[in-house]
A and B are shown apart, each in its own frame.
Chain A
Amino acid sequence: MSAPVDLSVALGPLALANPILTASGTFGYGLEFAHLTDLGRLGGIVTKGLSVAPIRGNPPPRVCETRGGMLNSIGLQNIGIERFLAEVLPGLERFPPRVIVNLFGVSVEEYVRLAARVEPVAGVAAVELNVSCPNVQRGGLEFGQDPEILARLVRAVRAVTGKPLIVKLSPNVTRPVEIGEAAKAGGADILSAINTLLGMAIDPVSRRPRLATVRGGLSGPAIKPVALRVVFDVARQVGLPVIGIGGIETVDDVLEFLLAGASAVQIGSALFRDPTTAERLVTALADRLAADGVGTVRELIGAVRLPS
């Protein structure tokens, strides 16, 4: 009998029992899935984006299906950090997954306030910053679009948190590596990539956009090659551990992201098709590594064989 496969990974200061996480916005606050899948088997969960105050979100329709994926424009609806900490986090302790909180604000001050608020909370394993939201002090330009603004934001958050700090990169920029380097300069420990791609769909019969806000974020297998390319570039050039996100549904998808340089992955829209996808992938990854005679998942990270 062969030795059990070691799925554990360390992303800088963040140690995970396995590299399978759930992506923000596709897993609610975690408890929505508690009766559908075994939360304790996951490497961790990333919450829906949380803000200082609750946000009511965008008018409907907010989601539509596309070929090989879906568009969403939820509008960052969430219950706010205080309700999350008071009402949801204690409920998660029964299972218990590693909980990564996804935070966003419209100003540097809001991000700092959120990070400082969760800093003493033992149940929060790490912080992931959603920087794909408009900066009201900069005329609505997204924080993650400008390297200098992003570096300043990350530095300000770094000053108030000792928790592992993840910055989630947007693919809607010309040079994601440059943004990743800015996050590193600001003190980020880990990069996650990618957030959704901006997209659009039209109903040809009614001639109306399928989303009330016209544009939305594309996710699902349709974006996987884009995500893989960004992960590959960022992992090689920035020098921070990377969490790969984008259209992951099968164990082959997981292997691709690991080989491209990701140290862990987040499962997103696939959870809507099958709520057990992440848990299934933990088992499938262990089985696959055992079958291939790979002793530890760490052997695969960045092990893509490039043409010489």
Chain B
Amino acid sequence: MLPTDHLAVVERVVEHPLPYFSLLLAVPRGWADLAAGQFVMVRTGSGLEPFLRRAFSVHDATSSATGDRIELLIKAVGRGTRALAALSPGARLPVLGPLGRGFSLAAEGPVALVAGGVGAAPLYLLARRLAERGQRFDFFYGGRNRVDLPRLESFAALARRSGGRLVATTEDGSAGASGLVAEPLERALASGEFRFVYACGPMGLLARLASLVAAHGLGGEAALETPMGCGFGACLGCAVPRPDGRFALCCQDGPVFAFSEVAW
């Protein structure tokens, strides 16, 4: 599907524990078929600040008799995201998408999904699609504290539906096990439970996963986040170093990359 720039209508702003919230947007017919891991570029205001659009992965995409909808799971951290949090239903928002390359869904057998904080955003649509096709997954969800695990119960429900489980970790121990999410994952990978890992989160976490995946001879994909100018390959601003010394573009070649495609 070719991307279009569309004035999406805000249908609902769903509050999760601060600073997280979800934006439900009415979008053109057909968008519900986008691939998990694809993203949109959102213009957060009409003035000069913020100057650039903001990239958000699509958290969920659905279709009904009344039209197609996407949900964005957002952490309000700066001017752009705070402006979005303040929107009311009915507001119109320039949304360019769907953009980029999503997750492949090619893996067979039980898989591991790994999220660090707001990195959970693109994994919800992936998890739902996996559950719908009856593919078992465990969801490893890590954050600094309980608040940093938005939609924890929804992820747990999807994991159960797939036949798998949710493993939560927090650095302060306020939810799940105390520690980093890579630790229980490492034990699970060592036991040979999974052949494939899907991940999104901070670069430090993804780099650690990349070496784990390589060490166990597994396949895996990660959704990356980089500074981005345009979102569709024109500005060449979102370079991702490749193992061959050249650069991929996060917006076009990604944001989902095989772990082996990135020089971590």
Closest A residue to B230 by CB, please name it.
A272
A3-11, A20-28, A127-135, A297-305 - the one binding chain B: A20-28
Residue numbers in B under 8 Å from A95 (CB-CB): none
Contact check, B52 vs A273: say whether CB atoms are below 8 A apart: yes
Residue numbers in B under 8 Å from A58 (CB-CB): 239
Residue numbers in A under 8 Å from B2 (CB-CB): 35
Contact check, B53 vs A26: say whether CB atoms are below 8 A apart: no
Contact check, B227 vs A64: say whether CB atoms are below 8 A apart: yes
Contact check, A26 vs B4: say whether CB atoms are below 8 A apart: no
Q: How many positions in chain B have a CB within 8 Å of any CB in the partner chain?
A: 31
Contact check, B239 vs A272: say whether CB atoms are below 8 A apart: no
Contacts A65-B50, A77-B247, A273-B53 given; does A70 touch B234 at CB 8 Å: no
Residue numbers in B under 8 Å from A269 (CB-CB): 51, 229
Residue numbers in B under 8 Å from A68 (CB-CB): 48-49, 51
Contacts A35-B2, A70-B51, A272-B52 given; does A60 touch B234 at CB 8 Å: no
Closest B residue to A57 by CB, please name it.
B247
Residue numbers in B under 8 Å from A272 (CB-CB): 52-53, 229-230, 234-235
Residue numbers in A under 8 Å from B52 (CB-CB): 65, 70, 272-273
Interface pairs (27), CB distance under 8 Å = A26-B235, A28-B235, A32-B234, A33-B234, A36-B4, A48-B236, A57-B236, A58-B239, A59-B247, A60-B240, A62-B237, A62-B239, A63-B227, A63-B238, A65-B51, A66-B51, A67-B49, A68-B48, A69-B51, A70-B52, A72-B229, A72-B237, A74-B236, A77-B247, A220-B51, A272-B234, A273-B52
A residues at B contact (CB < 8 Å): 25-28, 32-33, 35-36, 48, 56-70, 72, 74, 77, 220-221, 269, 271-276
With A35-B4, A62-B238 given, can you name 4 additional A-B contacts, CB distance below 8 Å? A56-B247, A67-B51, A272-B234, A273-B43
B residues at A contact (CB < 8 Å): 2-5, 43, 48-53, 94, 96, 226-230, 232-241, 245-247
